[in-house]
């Protein structure tokens, strides 16, 4: 079973990388960009009987730092 874990910074947490990307896009002449936030995509290939709770635990224990990040799991 393939999973896609999206890890994103929580609202209100400053994202310096997003800001740098934003500036670089504007430097290339792209207009009308309101905001840029950078995150991570982690792809997992796991046993078919892996439970939702098990995946959730992987996210909380390692894949995301819940002090600063949110995560969302998508089943492919």
Partner 1 sequence: MKTAVIVFPGSNCDRDIAVALEAVTGVKPAMVWHGETALPDGVGLVALPGGFSYGDYLRAGAVAARSPIMRAVVDAAERGLPVLGICNGFQVLTEAGLLPGALMRNEGLDFVCRDVALTVANAQSAFTSRYGQGETVTLPVAHHDGNYFADAETLDRIEGEGRVAFRYVGEVNGSARKIAGVLNAAGNVLGMMPHPERRIEMAHGGFDGRRMFEGLLETVGA
Q: What residues line the site for partner 1 (CB under 8 A)? A: 13-14, 16-17, 20, 61-63, 65, 67-68
User: Which CB, 31 or 67, lies closer to partner 1?
Assistant: 67
* CB 48, min distance to partner 1, A: 25
Beta-carbon contacts of residue 4 (< 8 Å; ≥ 6 apart): 41, 42, 43, 44, 73, 74, 75, 76
Query: Smallest Cα–Cα separation from 59: which of 32, 31, 40?
Result: 40
User: Which CB, 12 or 32, lies closer to partner 1?
Assistant: 12
User: Which CB, 47 or 62, lies closer to partner 1?
Assistant: 62
């Amino acid at each position: 079973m393939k999973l896609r874990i999206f890890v994103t910074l929580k609202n209100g947490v400053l994202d310096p990388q997003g800001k740098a990307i934003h500036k670089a896009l504007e430097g290339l002449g792209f207009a009308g960009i309101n905001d840029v936030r950078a995150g991570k995509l982690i792809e997992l290939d796991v046993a078919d009987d892996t439970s939702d709770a098990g995946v959730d635990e992987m996210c909380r224990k390692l894949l995301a730092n819940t002090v600063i990040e949110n995560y969302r799991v998508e089943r492919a």
